[in-house]
Structure 1
């Protein structure tokens, strides 16, 4: 698909992350106004609430609310209708009377009320690398890993929008003579893509992979901050708890499935056939270049298409027991890591568990220090345009003992 040209010149720039082909949704405010829903286009934000007031769009009045949950609950037919109408209003040759707000003047807010948060473990490269550190190469992957998506239920209450500072957690770690209560010494990031569930399922029912595709509203970048020393002491036998509960950062714009559809592709090669409830009728991943930087220095570039399981497979598996899914559920892909050291989405892998320092701004480093700023980024490259997410950034504050 080629660039869809807009009467807004900034949206036609080949390097702009928000062309008319994208139209991601978010929540914003200006100068203390009430937060409301918007869509990013070029260097501007379409005020969707004002569009409804003027009769330009019909979303049942949901765009005046400070989160997108009520709009998502209207379903895919309404999502498609609103997107088509927005495209018509912003396309080259239209009247150009759409209410716009300069992006530079706006504050972005958490775009959804996160109802539940589940994080998965879907990159074979990441799972193998981490498994080698803890169990050796012979036992790196758990026996079920190539048969089903592995995940854990995280904390929805600590999901924050890009730009929100992240406080270094205190926690219990293993000491020489027993447990110690200390600030986290091995603070890490995780480069992930988050899927936003826009339609519910009923308790006791199962969702197919195709049905899960229809339930996903869109995607955000997601940094699942991780306290590796706290995690090492607490995670057996039930998995991460406080080491993951202190903060999860997401990008402010939700990129829709429709925007990513031209970039759909296959993922990693299968080690074995999947059971029927996880089989896809079409490829479920995207050709999406992703990476992360620390203090402005790019540390990793890789691609989302290295993943072993898609978000639709994760959602289908999540519901396979009859677990009900809700509008506003957030599913983390798991750390996205490619096969080489400069393609990994976590410092735990990049430094081989802290044994191999990296260089940041000319200085040897192992894990994240106070004052560090970590930013995730992603783009899908089209014909004369790109689909971007905007930054997913967090700056680390000192612990509060």
Structure 2
């Protein structure tokens, strides 16, 4: 049950009628704007940057961040090309051909222990149930029924694009994995099919990490379902990642352990319940409504007002946001204008401790500010001294570099 905002810490006093979280998020989004549904990519991106209140609030409210970025004059440029989209669909169709037998064989070949001791499935050993139903509620119910029947049947079953439901900050999110395989022992495996290449049995670490975080969202949505639909059903903590082999169209696969991603995603989704606190702390009248014209596309609200509304919510920008968030260019421009060390990356930000601006970093390195006992300040001064020594002419006494000569990027 969603609690009212005025009963939570930091809520605005003086309200007589209770305002639910869902109502408050609708006010932030715009009274006539339908919420943008959350998907696994958005939830995985949240887990990758758990400290960003801005994204947590906007995603929780269902705000269209891409449209907001365009209205601010900082449109996002990332995304999948049409060619890659078509190629990905063609590869997925090939992986699932022959009634899913080849896909299940790939999974069986990479299993260990007792699961691998069982004979590989034959052409008639894999069942693909029909998941067709009307509406998202109907499809999720049909998926739950198919999982129950497959677990009870004790045979290989491939669910092609099942629909799963997850409650996120009081809002239902519908998630659609590429596939879920039910094993004869009643366990379930999430399958992720990607179009990036797997060369000599390994793939790009960043892309594999993104796929693992996305698969973790699906696994979390399956966990409560496993407890409800069948006794003994379990969701495996290893997902099957299927990719093209050596730039060909032949599928290759690997099992990816997602226990770390599961813990991170579970913790971050739990923190989304704090969206109520973030919303309650906003100034009165804050809204991200674009006030679209009659054509449904042209925003009528001044970009300055939208920027002011965004500035009321703390971001946690990092260069990695450029590949995952529609507002990354706007947040980067703000961080650069403020001289924030966030532009240097999460690693540098963590090492610098209480030094939050590049100006303070340069001052500390030059010995003009900062506590000498602070480990970050001491490390900066040591680095500046070593740099000055390296740049000094041969035989000359090292001279500390001026602040303007110190690197800031």
| TM-score tier after normalising by the smaller chain length | under 0.3
Which protein shows a greater Rg?
2
* TM-score calculated relative to the size of structure 2: 0.26
Which of the two has greater strand per residue? 1
Which of the two has greater helix per residue? 2
Whose relative contact order is higher, 1 or 2, with alpha carbons under 8 Å and at least 6 apart? 1
